[in-house]
A and B are shown apart, each in its own frame.
Chain A
Amino acid sequence: MTARKWFKANRARFAALLCCMLLAGFLYPLSAAADDSEIKTVRVGYYENEVFQEGAQQGAVKTGYAYEYYQKLSEYTGWKYEYVYGDFSDLYQKLLDGDIDLLAGLAWKEERESIIGYPDAPMGKESYCLVKHSDNEDITVDPLTLKGKRIGVLDSAINDALREFLNEHEVKADVVTYRDYEPLYKAFDDRDVDVIAAEGDGAYGRSDAELLYDFGASDYFLCVCKSRPDLLDDLNIAQTELSVDEPNYITFLRSRYYPVSISSRAFSTAEKQWLRDHTDLHVGYLNHYLPYCDTDESGAVTGLVRDLIPRMLSGLGIEDIDVSYTSFNSYDAMMEELAAGGVDVVFPVGGGLYYSEVNGVSQTTAVVSAATELVYKGEYTDKTTMKFAVNENNRMQYFFVLTYYPEAEVEFYPSIDSCLEAVNSGKVGCTTLNGLRANDILRNSKYSGLSLLQTTYNDDRCFGVQIGNKGLLKLLNRGINVLGADYAQNLAFRYTDQLYQYSFIDMLRDHMAIVGSIILGIAALIIAFLVRDANHSKRELEQQKHRDQQDKMITALASDYRCVYHVDLDHNDAVCYRADPTDHEQTPEGVHFPYYERFSWYAEHYVAESYREGFLQFIDPDNVRTALSKEDIIVYRYLAQRDDREYYEMIRMAGVRHSEDREDHIVHAIGLGLTVIDTEMRETMAKNQALGEALAAAEEANKAKTAFLSSMSHEIRTPMNAIIGLDSLALRNESIPEETREYLEKIGGSARHLLGLINDILDMSRIESGHLTIRKEEFSFSNMLEQLNSMVMSQCSEKGLHYECNVVGGVSDYYIGDDLKLKQVLINILSNAVKFTDAPGSVSLTVERTAVFGDHTTMKFRIKDTGIGMDKAFIPKIFDTFTQEDSSRNSKYGSTGLGMAITKNIVELMNGKISVQSKKGVGTEFTVVVTLINSQHEGPATSYVDPKDMRILVVDDEEIAAEHARIVLDEVGIKADTCLDGKTALSMLELQHAKHEPYNLVLLDWKMPEMDGIDVAREIRDRYDKETTVIILTSFNWDEIMDEAIHAGVDSFLAKPLFASNVIDEFERIARKNNMSLYKEKQRAELKGRHILLAEDVVINAEIMKQIIAAREAEIDHAENGRIALEMFEKSPAGYYDAILMDVRMPEMDGLEATAAIRALDKPDAKTVPIIALTANAFDEDVQRSLQVGMNAHLSKPVEPEHLYQALEELIWEADDGKRTMQSVY
């Protein structure tokens, strides 16, 4: 069909059309200019082509496949058409020249692609068939039988398809091309060709033509003039939308306009066989079943069946068949007759395939497919369908009820009328009526009380043949197909009237006697109509109301949005629910469009470039699914650019159902909304900026404060160190005059007070910045109390106060918490109590365990004094910073005004409570309640540290500070060494390590030239592992270096200047924490049975050494000098000697030489055997020298046996363990 008739150009008409077209072309710009840009006027090339495109002249009624397609498109594009008439070739040229915009029916050709615009989707599809003469037996469905045959084909797209087909099957045939159909058919009729290749209906009317098979298909398109890419875009979008809305639209058009195809006329073998065998067709039909079938007054068949059969036969080109009809009053009887062979085909058959099969009947495709209606009286309830009235002569009805209402009770009646009466009288709940029949039957006045409800079940009405009668079944199906789907339905109205007319006449007769009755009857009829309509419209009204409500709901919910869409992610389909009236580019409401493409387009056109990428990512369907599986609603905010202005907008999406509500947990459909958020966004941005600036300023200020405090503390503490240090040095001089001593003591007191103030300020700033942390470590509660008591006791006795400490209830020795902080709290309060109480007053501390729950213990501390007390009004302010009731007291009692504020903060950090009661002139009572964690530690508290056992190294580049520290420690009996830089410190540590007398604790100044405290700490950790505790001493705030320092191996920090009690406390704490004793216990080996080589020239020394070693049941070999020792070791089997004790000063060869020689031996144990130097020289340079030659340790004479054992046992264990390789320093 398509373009093939273009050559039938009608010159005269063409001229007229050309004029029209020119006129139209002339008018076009005017109309386009007059039109709003929304509505485009599109010039369509319209050529006459049977069925495809008819009415190709001005004013003529237009029909056809293409015409309907244009109208359909316009629903989507909004195009207004202007038809330009002509024959195909002229119009094609116009399309090329840009004189028309659209032309339908073009196949795709590569060479055309550059000159005309093809949309993405075709407007139709043409299949190609091969047709032979039906008497030609040489050619079968096997393509190879085409070999050497002459095949006629039109010189068009079919030709290409044919050659491709032949190539594919490797068939060489003689292909003859024709320019037109006429010569082609002539050649076929003249048998010049054996086969023709034709389009779908190409062999129409040729009885001797037989279809072989389809060999290909070609799409044809609605093409667009190259100069109108905008139209092509519109077309593409419209086609996509159409394909989403009505996926079968093309198929529908095709079946509507081309129901008769070659295939529908080319009978199969079975059909041919049936036709050969039969000259008659006996049709059985059911009476009283209009519009389908009935018998009229003359006894002749009426109804659809009367039209259908002849129409089908003629449609199929079957002429020599006699048709006869037999009527049946009962469906069952009709079926029996069919089974008996009395009729070939029956009509109608229905009630579902299953019951047809039970009856031994094959159904054809549906002649009419109509929904079944339920007929009931009064209100429709659940009970309505409990009991059905069924016409016993219409088995289809029974089957229908059985299928869809299997629970229902069925009561049989002889006719449908009696069924309806049964419903009317309330004997049954309902009955059913076929959809085509229902309305008209119920128009009868006697059924005015009945209502209709359409079921959702279609009950097809078909022809029926005996199962196995394949030929006839196929013929009938083919015939129904030829008629088209709507044929029977459209025809039905001719007969449905009779369903009603009959009743009307009948009614008139019933009421003839009284004229009034007629009027009444008419009135009744009108009422019947009204009631029926009312019933109908009531339902419709309710539905409409529901729709309206939904609509309003959507409007209300959408009020927050500029526009709202529903998107089916799986099918990339979107539809607009609420459109923005100001957005002209938008797809109108209700119109479907491809989601991703359209919103991508939106992004390209309206989303600012910097946001575009994000927008595209946001709308990506996979991203949407992923995001909505985690969030209920997702949002993207962006800058939009539209109508020459910029504004912020956001796109929001939410699943129509939440992902968790779905079995697959994936969102398939979403609601999508766009909202203009310009004002909010700009306000928020302004606020954020203001907040950001304020925050930056605040941070800046805070940094400045921290820096200030840090530097202040250093700046003040450094001279304070000097003052306190020099003061204490000066006080050690016993010869100073008493007056000077007094001054010096006051200087010291003031300095310490000032230091306290600085420490308090730093504590406060640490609390405020959140740097103060509460430790959770095991501590000895009794030790803490003891220390506290001895301190307060001495303060009280100095002042002449009575002090007592009471412990109530069972208090364990150990708890887990922060004892230092707890002590600080209690000391603060107790010191205040002492401070504000004058002799002969008293101060008391009561400790009470108030509760034990789980792992926790609640402890209550009450500090009571008989001091000056406080005014009631001041009590609430006591915990504020820098508050004192009477500032004049400050000078008398001396206070910083921060103590209580710090105390309260610490208690709160411990999750505790602090409260106070006081009465002026009577006294004050503080209560502190804290919760501690119970410890598993059993047994009495033991002090970890005996100051006499401690060896401390103080490293400080400021000599005064170092000396002060030494003096302070010396006062409590701790021996401390000092040095001024890290390097010296490291070598001192090395010596002590070699002497097996390591420092327990190193106090390191943080800020030192060359190596700072942290560098030294790192070195110490590298060399000696945990042997030595390292504390950083600093006058700075150490919060900032804390992490780095701890990472480097620093155990803790102490503020300068140093106080001995702090050192001991802190050291104890660390020792507890590390769960170690003061002297780190190393792994030791058993000495029994070991072989020791002793090099010693002095007999007495050797004798004593032998005794000592023998006591541990080790064997000792004695060499009188180094040379002998070297020889003995050299000759011994590898590993024989477990250790060598080497005197340093010996004749012949001294210990150093001998050690160097032993280490240089080529013997497996030469490098590993532990060698211990023995010398009376404990001078550092000697130790250093012995280490340099490769000795492992250096013991001073006279040697303590235990010390020797320890050194030997440890070194042998290490050598055995092989863990420690020889280090060069040893």
Chain B
Amino acid sequence: MLTIDNLKALGANTDEGLARCLGREDFYLRMVGMALADNGFEKLREAVELGNLEEGFERAHALKGVLANVSLTTLAAPIAEITEDLRARRDIDYTEILDRIDTELQKYRGLV
């Protein structure tokens, strides 16, 4: 169930997120739902695994913005991390970070 308390339990900064949405809970939760439903996470993994770091950076950067907007802090943190690596086009093994992202994402998606 996607609720404020559940999100908070997962480590989301719901106060901040709610404030951004002017305290409108339903709107906020709708936005969170939309963010979690975004297929950008999949596209990110796909691009990185194919070695398309350019594409991967674009995807990560967009996700970072969205997640920050809805303040899913714990998910936004690894996304921000990969964004910087991808911005620098670092030729590293992205498996670990992608898995971390996935783990966090699944926790949130489990609420929906």
A residues with a Cβ closer than 8 A to B are 1097-1101, 1103-1104, 1107-1108, 1111, 1145, 1175-1177, 1197-1201
Contacts and interface: CB of A to CB of B under 8 A. Distances in A.
B69 A1100 contact: yes
7 contacts: A1098-B65, A1107-B24, A1145-B58, A1145-B61, A1145-B62, A1175-B65, A1197-B65
B22 A1100 contact: no
B58 A1100 contact: no
Given A1101-B66, A1103-B34, A1104-B69, A1198 B58 contact: no
Most buried by B among A1176, A1197, A1200: A1176
B34 A1100 contact: yes
B21 to A, nearest CB: 6
A1104 B20 contact: yes
A1145 B40 CA distance: 15
Contacts of B16: 1198
Nearest to A1143: B65
A1197 B21 CA distance: 14
B64 A1176 contact: yes
Contacts of B19: 1200-1201
B48 interface: no
Contact of B68 (A1111, A1176, A1201): A1176
A1097 B24 CA distance: 23
A429 B27 CA distance: 131
A1104 B19 CA distance: 11
Given A1108-B20, A1108-B22, 4 more contacts: A1098-B62, A1100-B38, A1107-B21, A1198-B68
Contacts of A1104: 20-21, 31, 69-70
A1198 B13 CA distance: 12
A1107 B26 CA distance: 12
B70 A1100 contact: yes
Interface in B31-66: 31, 34-35, 38, 58, 61-62, 64-66
A1197 B68 contact: yes
B33 to A, nearest CB: 10
Given A1100-B70, A1145-B58, A1107 B65 contact: no
Contact of A1198 (B24, B27, B34, B69): B69
B66 A1100 contact: yes
B45 to A, nearest CB: 19
Contact of A1107 (B27, B35, B38, B58): B27
Contacts of B34: 1099-1100, 1103
Contacts of B20: 1104, 1108, 1198-1201
Nearest to B33: A1100
A1198 B71 contact: yes
A1175 B38 CA distance: 19
A235 B34 CA distance: 125
B57 to A, nearest CB: 10
A1111 B22 contact: yes
Most buried by A among B19, B34, B38, B62: B62
Nearest to B35: A1100
A1175 B24 CA distance: 24
A1098 B58 contact: no
A1201 B20 CA distance: 6
Q: Which 10 A-B pairs have the closest CB atoms?
A: A1176-B65, A1198-B68, A1198-B69, A1197-B65, A1100-B34, A1100-B66, A1111-B22, A1176-B64, A1100-B35, A1100-B31
A828 to B, nearest CB: 49
A724 B44 CA distance: 51
Contacts of B64: 1176
A1101 B24 CA distance: 15
Most B CB contacts (10 A, CB to CB) among A1099, A1100, A1108, A1201 go to A1100
Nearest to B67: A1198
Interface of B: 16, 19-22, 24, 27, 31, 34-35, 38, 58, 61-62, 64-66, 68-71
B59 to A, nearest CB: 11
Identify which of B22, B62, B65 gathers the most chain A CB atoms within 10 Å of its CB.
B65
Nearest to A1096: B65
A1175 B70 CA distance: 15
A950 B95 CA distance: 42
A1198 B12 CA distance: 14
B100 to A, nearest CB: 19
Contacts of B61: 1145, 1176-1177
A1145 B20 CA distance: 21
A1097 B68 CA distance: 16
B71 to A, nearest CB: 7
A830 to B, nearest CB: 45
B61 to A, nearest CB: 6
Nearest to A1097: B62
B76 to A, nearest CB: 9
Nearest to B65: A1176
A1200 B68 CA distance: 11
Contacts of A1101: 65-66, 69
Nearest to A1200: B20
B22 A1201 contact: yes
Contacts of B69: 1100-1101, 1104, 1197-1199
B64 to A, nearest CB: 5
Nearest to A1147: B58
B103 to A, nearest CB: 22
Contacts of A1175: 65
Contacts of A1200: 19-20
A457 B70 CA distance: 123
B22 A1198 contact: no
A568 B24 CA distance: 103
A1100 B35 CA distance: 7
Contacts of B66: 1098, 1100-1101
Contacts of A1097: 62
Contacts of B70: 1100, 1104
A1101 B61 CA distance: 13
Given A1098-B65, A1176-B65, A1107 B71 contact: no
A1104 B66 CA distance: 10
Contacts of B58: 1145
- Please indicate which of the listed interface residues B16, B22, B31, B69 has the most CB atoms of chain A within 10 Å of its own CB: B69
B80 to A, nearest CB: 8
Contacts of A1107: 21-22, 24, 27
Nearest to B37: A1100
A1145 B66 CA distance: 13
A1177 B16 CA distance: 19
Contacts of B71: 1198
A1100 B28 CA distance: 10
Nearest to A1101: B69
Contacts of A1111: 22
A1201 B27 CA distance: 15
A1100 B71 CA distance: 12
A1198 B27 CA distance: 16
A1197 B68 CA distance: 7
B12 to A, nearest CB: 13
A1097 B61 CA distance: 12
B14 to A, nearest CB: 13
B13 to A, nearest CB: 10
A1201 B71 CA distance: 14
Nearest to A1105: B69
A96 B15 CA distance: 129
A1171 to B, nearest CB: 18
A1111 B24 CA distance: 11
A1062 B31 CA distance: 48
A1103 B65 contact: no
A1103 B31 contact: yes
A255 B12 CA distance: 133
A1111 B71 CA distance: 20
B34 to A, nearest CB: 5
B44 to A, nearest CB: 14
A1097 B66 CA distance: 11
Contacts of A1145: 58, 61-62
